């Protein structure tokens, strides 16, 4: 959910929101070579415009991070965070959603992407990454509405939040599907598995909805490819598998999804593999201590998960 850069800056005063470019500079167009596609013609990109809209999006994100880390008035929030009651948190979530919607609606034409229309275009990779950042933050914000700590919302509001999360998940899956078709599974940035992980976990609750297992399968393909290079992604595949097993949801998955998860979480997992995570220092912000100040290392958590017995439940 969180960006490490924002967690570190919570105690610091926010810089003044000075726009990095002038109006004249925003129209400068250059060519982007879509590596690693050798021989593919370069595509036009307005780098100043891209940087400016990235700046605008991260202004909103900077205000969402304290929201995720906030505690109730009776709790001790993270230093630099805020204390919010349930009603105040609900109002803040709705405000952030409005700002995220406004950001996307006001995107210049050169940065707009409609994932379902990607077959007819070839956007620059940095533009796709910008949309990944938008979708994962939008989903994370909406998930707060579905938490037990949020004031009870109406069934219509709950259904609306669920519908939007599913829509975002499908859009993210469409982007990954296009990447898999255009540049294959060998090339990806560090942002890709992070976005795929957050989206996959958000879609677990909706696997019984039409089309969601297909989107989930696309995300698992991305994570399976990343797990061959990054140890953390291998641990994520295992935790996803065990979560799905515990919730008895394996039967809702496509056959190829089960095979990919099982290969990473069961077949390729040795009795001593839990030791692979001993040196992993990736911080896990979902597992803060009672006082809200100390983070538990992701390596410790993955090691505990990996010690559990992952059963072959493909026939459940």
- pLDDT (tens digit, 9 = 90+) per residue, 216-255? 999 999 999 998 888 778 888 888 888 898 889 999 999 9
Contacts of residue 212, Cβ cutoff 8 Å, sequence gap at least 6: 166, 169, 170, 203, 206
Residues forming beta bridges with residue 31, ordered by sequence position:
44
According to the model, what pLDDT value does residue 154 have?
A: 81
> Is 240 strand, coil or helix?
helix
According to the model, what pLDDT value does residue 104 have?
A: 94
**Strand ranges, E, within the chain:** 30-32, 43-45, 283-288, 295-297
Q: How many helices (H) and strands (E) does the chain have?
A: 11, 4
**Residue 120 corresponds to which tokens in the numbers above?**
């007819």
H or E segment and range at residue 225: helix 212-227
Query: Which stretches in the chain have pLDDT values below 70?
Result: 1-40, 44, 66, 69-81, 116-117, 119-122, 148-151, 270-316
Query: pLDDT, tens digit, for every residue of 158-171?
Result: 899 999 999 999 99
**Strand ranges, E, within 72-199:** none
Q: What phi and psi values does residue 258 have, to the nearest 5 degrees? A: -60, -40
Rama region for 21: left / alpha / beta (φ>0; ψ in -120 to 50; rest): beta
């Amino acid at each position: 959910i969180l960006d490490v850069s924002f967690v570190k800056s919570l105690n610091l005063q926010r810089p003044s929101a000075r726009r990095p470019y002038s109006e004249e500079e925003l129209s400068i167009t250059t060519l982007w070579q879509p590596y690693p596609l050798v021989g593919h013609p370069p595509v036009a990109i307005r780098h100043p415009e891209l940087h400016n809209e990235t700046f605008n999006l991260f202004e909103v994100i900077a205000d969402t991070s304290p929201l995720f880390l906030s505690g109730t008035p009776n709790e001790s929030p993270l230093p630099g965070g805020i204390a919010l009651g349930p009603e105040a948190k609900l109002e803040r979530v709705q405000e952030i959603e409005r700002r995220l919607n406004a950001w996307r609606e006001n995107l210049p034409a050169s940065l707009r992407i409609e994932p379902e229309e990607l077959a007819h275009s070839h956007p620059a990779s940095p533009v796709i990454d910008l949309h990944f950042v938008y979708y994962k933050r939008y989903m994370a914000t909406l998930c707060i509405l579905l938490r037990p700590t949020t004031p009870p919302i109406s069934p219509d509001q709950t259904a609306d939040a669920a519908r939007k999360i599913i829509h975002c998940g499908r859009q993210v899956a469409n982007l990954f599907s296009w990447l898999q078709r255009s540049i294959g599974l060998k090339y990806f940035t560090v942002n890709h598995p992070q976005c795929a992980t957050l989206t996959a976990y958000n879609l677990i609750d909706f696997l019984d909805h039409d089309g969601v297992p297909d989107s989930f399968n696309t995300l698992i393909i991305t994570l399976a490819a990343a797990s061959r290079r990054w140890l953390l992604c291998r641990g994520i595949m295992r935790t996803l598998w065990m979560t799905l097993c515990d919730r008895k949801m394996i039967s809702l998955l496509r056959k190829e999804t089960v095979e990919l998860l099982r290969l990473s979480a069961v077949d390729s997992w040795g009795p001593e593999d839990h030791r692979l995570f001993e040196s992993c220092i990736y911080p896990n912000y979902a597992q803060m201590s009672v006082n809200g100040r100390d983070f538990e290392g992701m390596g410790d958590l993955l090691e505990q998960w990996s010690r559990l017995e992952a059963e072959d439940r493909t026939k459940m």
